[in-house]
Amino acid sequence: MDQKALLHKHLKEYFGYDTFRPLQERVIQAVLEKKDNLVIMPTGGGKSMCYQLPALILEGVTLILSPLIALMKDQVDGMNANGIPSAYLNSSQNSSEVDTVIQKLTDGKLKLLYLAPESLKTFETLIAELPIGLIAIDEAHCISSWGHDFRPAYTQLSFLKKQWPTIPIIALTATADKATRSDILNQLNLKSAQQHIASFDRPNLSLEVQVAHDRITKIVTFIKERPNSSGIVYCLSRKTTEQVANSLQKKGYKAKAYHAGLPAEERSEIQENFVHDKSKIICATIAFGMGIDKSNIRWVIHYNLPKNIEGYYQEIGRAGRDGIAAETVLFYSYADVIQLQKFANNSSNKEVQLSKLERMKQYTEALSCRRKILLNYFGEFVEKDCGNCDVCKNPPTIFDGTLLSQKILSGIARLREKEPIGTVVDFLRGSQNALIYDKGYQHLKTYGLLKKMAWSDVQQYTIQLLNLGYCELAFHENNAIKLSQLAKKILFENEKVYLTKVLLKPTSKKKSSPKAKQKKIPSLFENLRGLRLEIAQQKNIAAYLVFSDATLKQMELKRPMNEADFKKIEGVGRKKFEDYGAAFIKRIVAFQKSTAPSNLKKTVENTFQKTLELHQKGLSAPEISTKRKLHLATVQNHLLKLFQKGEDVNLNEFVTQKEITEINKARRELKNSKSLRLYFDHFEEQMPYPSLKFGLAILERNTD
Ligand SMILES: [Zn+2]
């Protein structure tokens, strides 16, 4: 068997996949050629496969240095569940546990050994005698003082190359700019390492920014629509994590607060329950998530504005690591900007922090595809808009906001530039609150000038004026909003201002129709998820280590009811098939029996409905096919059927007006024939099948 075939065989047998993710195969081949490698891959890109698979082929044991002791058990459980004998050595074990591992090592029974760099000294003699096949250094950015998680123990790793000059070393990280990259290579003594830099794009993560107004209500609605899915709400302060968790608990959700101020035991319990799917919602400071390798986090919400784009991207990156769709929402408030500016001003590298915050702010205010901005930030340039961010889905509308701006700016002037945004908005909307009455603002001209506009809209337009430079905030005067020189041009010279229409974001995506309320029967996915949890609890491992969400989704879609079909599912390797296959097949068969045949019809309707929803959001057929993991032809077929059923489907993507005219002509000549073949021949095979099919459907609908 040649090497390529062998790799694919192992990929299916041990990991259950048919294809490699981008870059994995190239890295693995370089490792097997005994080259040194530096791999930069985003979280969820499949980094660990780059050393786990070669470990199976190379002789001896693969040594993995990783800083995250909390993560080692899950990683080792995961490998053993795949049938790859693995173990770890760290400070959490007692001496008999250590002895068991050492015995296995001496007997040559292990393929992977995980170690923290701090433990290298302790086990020096043991390791010196091991037949090592490969050394992997995970989270390699910890080696560099340029990186954000510097760990002193990492800087002592330069001896590895000296001690084992012929053994390949692979260094891996998810974040590394140029300076950090060359630092890693220097410190590890890897003079001729190959560098592999994967794309940072995570197309399965949807991106959305919302105005931070009534956040709790918005979050509750969001969670309600996504029952049973795991998610994290990131907050800026410890206090906020507790407040948000409390508010959610009052609404009946078992949300937990997590921050560095809690006792270590409580923290690790919260983390473990989350990883094991026992609790679904965590309200946390950004400290949470670093040591977590949970693939089925379905959403991440930023309750507050993050400090910079690196942090933001890392945090949202914790969602959807199994590659299936996951959602992210960021709440944007001007109060957060002010708060973060204060932090930055008091920090040692003020300029850098302020400029990073500025980029973050620009991202939230973006009028073009947000993903492009993110990728651009990481040095990747893409031409096409992503179609999976809020800007792509609802492109902004620009309007002549001169009159509106004049009203807002004169409101600011009337309050003698002494009040913060909130009071200006209250004043313009004619609020009858104590603050306004105490100061007698209700008697001023322009009071209540924007009575008819929603509070958050007036606030948003004021912020737009602020961002356009027509006014500014005086941080040292209680954040009073003041007019700038430019404002005079609008107020007195009638200069035009263009503003972006504030979209009334629906707090709820779908109005719950009576139909939706009836839908109480748990889906097969829910059913299998239940089985997975039972197994995981019996074995005391994380649920996603049994099968990932993506694998369960595949089972729901393909409904394998025998061994052969079950083995074809992505994520089902040999060992997992032996361990869990029978139980899952049994569950699927039972489900089919209990729900057939009406359920099948529902599934079919469902899949059409999903395609329609994506289409109506503006996704093209190829985009839908990628997103839904369906063949392009299937998606086209869905859209055709939906169109024929009279749904609102736009077929311009498939057939041009000119083609329709030609097909119409042919239709008359062929006496309204329905045989596609006949048309195909008529055009001497020059007209593609899809154009013909869709063209005829349009003509038929018009004749009806
Ligand atoms: Zn986009």
The pLDDT value given to residue 640? 87
Taking residue 582's Cβ as centre, other Cβ atoms within 10 Å add up to: 12
Q: For 369-386, what is the mean pLDDT?
A: 84
Ligand 1 centre to CA of 174 (Å) is 22
Ligand 1 centre to CA of 205 (Å) is 11
Number of compact structural domains in the chain: 4
End-to-end Cα distance, the chain: 60
16, 573 Cβ separation under 8 angstroms: yes
The pLDDT value given to residue 520? 56
77, 535 Cβ separation under 8 angstroms: no
Same domain, 459 and 552: no
Could you say which of 595, 629, 651 is where a domain stops? 595
Same domain, 479 and 402: yes
Ligand 1 centre to CA of 116 (Å) is 40
Ligand 1 centre to CA of 370 (Å) is 5
Instruction: Give me the percent of the chain exceeding a pLDDT of 70.
Output: 94
Ligand 1 centre to CA of 340 (Å) is 26
- Residue 661 domain-assigned (yes or no): no
Ligand 1 centre to CA of 146 (Å) is 31
Ligand 1 centre to CA of 367 (Å) is 10
Same domain, 345 and 474: no
- Residue 570 domain-assigned (yes or no): yes
- Residue 628 domain-assigned (yes or no): no
Taking residue 440's Cβ as centre, other Cβ atoms within 10 Å add up to: 8
- Residue 652 domain-assigned (yes or no): no
- Mean pLDDT of all residues in the chain? 87
The pLDDT value given to residue 300? 97
Q: Is the pLDDT of residue 433 over 90?
A: no
Ligand 1 centre to CA of 627 (Å) is 14
Could you say which of 343, 370, 393 is where a domain stops? 393
Ligand 1 centre to CA of 395 (Å) is 9
Ligand 1 centre to CA of 464 (Å) is 21
- Residue 21 domain-assigned (yes or no): yes
Q: Which residue has the higher pLDDT, 376 or 81?
A: 81
3-state secondary structure string across 269-302 = HHHHHHHCCCCCEEEECCCCCCCCCCCCEEEEEE
Ligand 1 centre to CA of 291 (Å) is 30
Q: What is the Cα–Cα distance from 672 to 336, expressed in whole angstroms? A: 65
Q: Which residue has the higher pLDDT, 263 or 700?
A: 263
Ligand 1 centre to CA of 617 (Å) is 12
Ligand 1 centre to CA of 73 (Å) is 38
pLDDT digits 0-9 by tens, 634-649? 888 888 888 887 777 8
Q: Is the pLDDT of residue 251 over 90?
A: yes
Ligand 1 centre to CA of 498 (Å) is 22
Ligand 1 centre to CA of 227 (Å) is 26
The pLDDT value given to residue 677? 79
- Confidence band (pLDDT; 50, 70, 90) for 494? confident
Could you say which of 361, 393, 425 is where a domain stops? 393
Q: For 418-440, what is the mean pLDDT?
A: 90
Ligand 1 centre to CA of 95 (Å) is 53
Ligand 1 centre to CA of 449 (Å) is 36
Same domain, 385 and 410: no
Q: Is the pLDDT of residue 43 over 80?
A: no
Q: What is the Cα–Cα distance from 208 to 206, expressed in whole angstroms? A: 7
The pLDDT value given to residue 149? 61
Ligand 1 centre to CA of 209 (Å) is 12
The pLDDT value given to residue 28? 96
461: domain CATH number is 1.10.10.10
Q: For 285-311, what is the mean pLDDT?
A: 87
Ligand 1 centre to CA of 200 (Å) is 15
Ligand 1 centre to CA of 383 (Å) is 11
Same domain, 176 and 102: yes
| 3-state secondary structure at position 328 | strand
Ligand 1 centre to CA of 390 (Å) is 7
Ligand 1 centre to CA of 206 (Å) is 9
Ligand 1 centre to CA of 208 (Å) is 9
Ligand 1 centre to CA of 439 (Å) is 46
199, 165 Cβ separation under 8 angstroms: no
Strand arrangement of the beta sheet that strand 194-197 belongs to: 86-89, 112-115, 61-65, 132-137, 169-173, 37-40, 194-197
Q: Which residue has the higher pLDDT, 399 or 69?
A: 399
Ligand 1 centre to CA of 614 (Å) is 14
Q: Which residue has the higher pLDDT, 371 or 213?
A: 371
- Confidence band (pLDDT; 50, 70, 90) for 597? low
Same domain, 413 and 437: yes
Ligand 1 centre to CA of 479 (Å) is 33
Ligand 1 centre to CA of 468 (Å) is 23
Ligand 1 centre to CA of 695 (Å) is 30
Q: What is the Cα–Cα distance from 530 to 524, expressed in whole angstroms? A: 10
For the ranges 103-107, 149-153, 255-259, the lowest mean pLDDT is seen at 149-153
Ligand 1 centre to CA of 158 (Å) is 43
Ligand 1 centre to CA of 373 (Å) is 9
What DSSP string runs through 514-583? HHHHH--SPPHHHHHHHHHHHHHHHHTS-GGGTS-HHHHHHHHHH---SHHHHHHSTT--HHHHHHHHHH
Q: For 272-285, what is the mean pLDDT?
A: 92
Ligand 1 centre to CA of 394 (Å) is 10
Exposure letters 226-253 (e unless 16+ CB within 10 A, then b)? eeebbbbbbbbebebbbbbbebbeeeeb
564: domain CATH number is 1.10.150.80
Ligand 1 centre to CA of 618 (Å) is 11
- Residue 136 domain-assigned (yes or no): yes
171: domain CATH number is 3.40.50.300
Ligand 1 centre to CA of 437 (Å) is 45
Ligand 1 centre to CA of 624 (Å) is 14
Ligand 1 centre to CA of 42 (Å) is 19
Same domain, 376 and 233: yes
169, 135 Cβ separation under 8 angstroms: yes
Ligand 1 centre to CA of 378 (Å) is 16
Ligand 1 centre to CA of 329 (Å) is 14
Q: For 543-572, what is the mean pLDDT?
A: 90
- Confidence band (pLDDT; 50, 70, 90) for 599? low
Tokens 């900007």 found at:
337
pLDDT digits 0-9 by tens, 118-175? 888 889 899 999 999 999 999 898 887 655 566 777 878 889 999 999 999 999 988 7
Ligand 1 centre to CA of 283 (Å) is 27
pLDDT digits 0-9 by tens, 498-524? 888 876 544 334 444 444 444 456 788
Same domain, 296 and 281: yes
Q: For 457-479, what is the mean pLDDT?
A: 82
Ligand 1 centre to CA of 399 (Å) is 22
- Residues of the domain holding 483: 398-500
Ligand 1 centre to CA of 363 (Å) is 12
Q: What is the Cα–Cα distance from 615 to 476, expressed in whole angstroms? A: 50
Ligand 1 centre to CA of 612 (Å) is 19
Ligand 1 centre to CA of 225 (Å) is 23
Same domain, 8 and 84: yes
- Residue 613 domain-assigned (yes or no): no
- Residue 684 domain-assigned (yes or no): no
Alpha helices in 95-177 (DSSP H): 95-106, 124-128, 159-163
Same domain, 488 and 542: no
Q: Is the pLDDT of residue 290 over 50?
A: yes
Ligand 1 centre to CA of 232 (Å) is 23
Amino acid at 481: I
Q: Is the pLDDT of residue 685 over 80?
A: no
Same domain, 385 and 253: yes
Ligand 1 centre to CA of 386 (Å) is 4
Tokens 């309200």 found at:
283
Q: For 346-375, what is the mean pLDDT?
A: 85
pLDDT digits 0-9 by tens, 107-118? 999 999 999 988
Ligand 1 centre to CA of 675 (Å) is 40
Ligand 1 centre to CA of 443 (Å) is 46
- Confidence band (pLDDT; 50, 70, 90) for 299? very high
- Confidence band (pLDDT; 50, 70, 90) for 582? very high
Same domain, 373 and 248: yes
